[in-house]
Amino acid sequence: MKKFNKKDYTLSFWVQGVSVFVTDIHVDVYKDLEVLFLIDNGMFKQYFTNIAYNKTLDRGLKFYSEKNAFTEYQTDLIKHLKTFKDFYSKEIRKKEKLSQSVVKTFFKYTIKLCKDYTKMNFEFTDKAFSNQEKNPIIKKNLALMSQFKDKVRSFMNTVLFEKSRYSSEFFTILAKQFNLDPKILADLTQQEILGLFEGKKPNLHQISKRQTAFLINYDRSAIDQGQNVLTIIQSFRDTASSTKTVNGTPASLGKATGKVKVINVDYKDIGILNAEISKMEKGNILIAETTAPELIIACQKAAAIVTDVGGLLSHAAIVSREFGIPCIVATGNATKVFKDGDMVEVDAEKGIVTKIR
């Protein structure tokens, strides 16, 4: 097994309940960032190499500096959303069987959707955001992006994460077609799913280990699960400390004090997320691994937002500035340091969150 050094990587995203299929799709999506994906006891972790991450910030600055680049990108992506929707309705919805060609097209459309979405992620937008006051073209493009991002994210949820998602019906049809459990399909790679059409049966014993420990890197030169990758996974873990303070990047200025409500997304069961949101009270400090449109009601209740990961144009940053509340992103470990009910002070002038009691 290839060696991986945590110091060479930037943790860009982590969340509960992402399937191996979605992980494998994102290998193609993030190939340029030399991505490393780990699944550690159900926790999906996405790492970029530091070198590739910095190059992408520069690419994003160039993209958002070009007068017509974003509008052309937006037009193309809107067209793709319609093409994907029509394809699903015509070729997948309520079908008894799927051809290998249809499966390949589903993969291709999903990869394009997710890859295009990355142009609105923080690894592509943060350097542009830092330079927007010097360049009105950047400022205009980023404003358009902020309005468009949630629409695309919502469609991604329709394809991959909602209860009635496209991928759910896609797996249900294939499961009947090949006499497999749909849950098994969700933890297969693209290549393994295509292999079903050639009579290749998945190793169910090996697949059962994948949500406990799984690793795959950007060119698939390293892919393994279970006991074989535990040492690497353990070396990438962050341990919670007894500190009462965390530091991050100020994304919306201001100060706030309140009780903590920790809410983390679990894509295996969005119902759990909604139950946690219902427990949140107005004026709580929302602490999350990251936020997304699914957390908008919690964001509306929050006196401040603090996230483990994200950038200056992440969902948390955008909505906090829109709501006029303090926000600190990229703390790395706020969800580990604080727990529900802790009283904290958020100083988004300095980027510090402090436990008061």
Whether residue 27 lies inside any domain: the answer is: yes
Whether residue 1 lies inside any domain: the answer is: no
Tell me which of 235, 259, 287 is where a domain ends. Answer: 235
Examine the domain organization and report whether 223 and 255 are in the same domain.
no
| pLDDT at res. 241 | 63
- The region of weakest confidence among 212-221, 223-232, 324-333 is 223-232
pLDDT band at 357 (very low <50, low <70, confident <90, very high): confident
Reported as a single tens digit per residue, the pLDDT across 286-338 is 999 988 888 999 999 999 999 999 899 888 999 999 999 999 999 988 998 99
Examine the domain organization and report whether 72 and 166 are in the same domain.
yes
Reported as a single tens digit per residue, the pLDDT across 64-107 is 999 999 999 999 999 999 999 999 999 999 999 999 999 999 99
| pLDDT at res. 240 | 61
Tell me which of 204, 235, 266 is where a domain ends. Answer: 235
CA dihedral (111, 117, 121, 126) positive or negative: positive
Of residues 282, 251, 29, 289, the one with CA closest to residue 130: 251
Tell me which of 208, 235, 262 is where a domain ends. Answer: 235
| pLDDT at res. 198 | 96
What b/e string do you get for 106-141 counting C-beta neighbours within 10 Å, with b at 16 or more?
A: bbebbbbbbbbbbbbbbbbbbbbbeebeeeebbbeb
Reported as a single tens digit per residue, the pLDDT across 6-34 is 999 999 998 888 999 999 999 999 999 99
Token pair of 251 as six digits: 């994304």
State the total domains in the chain: 2
CATH number of the CATH domain containing 346: 3.50.30.10
State the residue for tokens 């014993």: 205
Whether residue 129 lies inside any domain: the answer is: yes
**Burial (CB count <10 Å: 0-12, 13-18, 19+), residue 293:** middle
The Cα–Cα gap between 245 and 77 comes to: 41
Reported as a single tens digit per residue, the pLDDT across 193-202 is 999 999 999 9
Please check the confidence at residue 172 and state whether its pLDDT lies above 70: yes
Which helix (DSSP H) or strand (DSSP E) does residue 137 occupy?
helix 136-160
Examine the domain organization and report whether 220 and 286 are in the same domain.
no
Token pair of 324 as six digits: 């006029």
Task: Name the residue range of residue 308's domain.
Answer: 245-355
Examine the domain organization and report whether 179 and 84 are in the same domain.
yes
- For residues 86 and 242, the model is more confident at 86
Examine the domain organization and report whether 18 and 136 are in the same domain.
yes
Whether residue 54 lies inside any domain: the answer is: yes
Examine the domain organization and report whether 188 and 279 are in the same domain.
no
The Cα–Cα gap between 129 and 162 comes to: 31
Examine the domain organization and report whether 280 and 323 are in the same domain.
yes
- 266: DSSP letter: B
Examine the domain organization and report whether 79 and 34 are in the same domain.
yes
CA 166, distance to chain mean position in Å, is: 18
Q: How far is CA 39 from CA 44, 138, 213, 326, 334, in A?
A: 5, 36, 5, 32, 20
| Beta-sheet pairing, 352-355 with 285-288 | unpaired
pTM above threshold 0.75: yes
Whether residue 81 lies inside any domain: the answer is: yes
Whether residue 194 lies inside any domain: the answer is: yes
| pLDDT at res. 271 | 76
Examine the domain organization and report whether 265 and 170 are in the same domain.
no
Examine the domain organization and report whether 169 and 115 are in the same domain.
yes
Examine the domain organization and report whether 87 and 214 are in the same domain.
yes
Of residues 327, 320, 323, 319, the one with CA closest to residue 353: 327
pLDDT band at 223 (very low <50, low <70, confident <90, very high): very high
Whether residue 42 lies inside any domain: the answer is: yes
Whether residue 61 lies inside any domain: the answer is: yes
Examine the domain organization and report whether 217 and 249 are in the same domain.
no
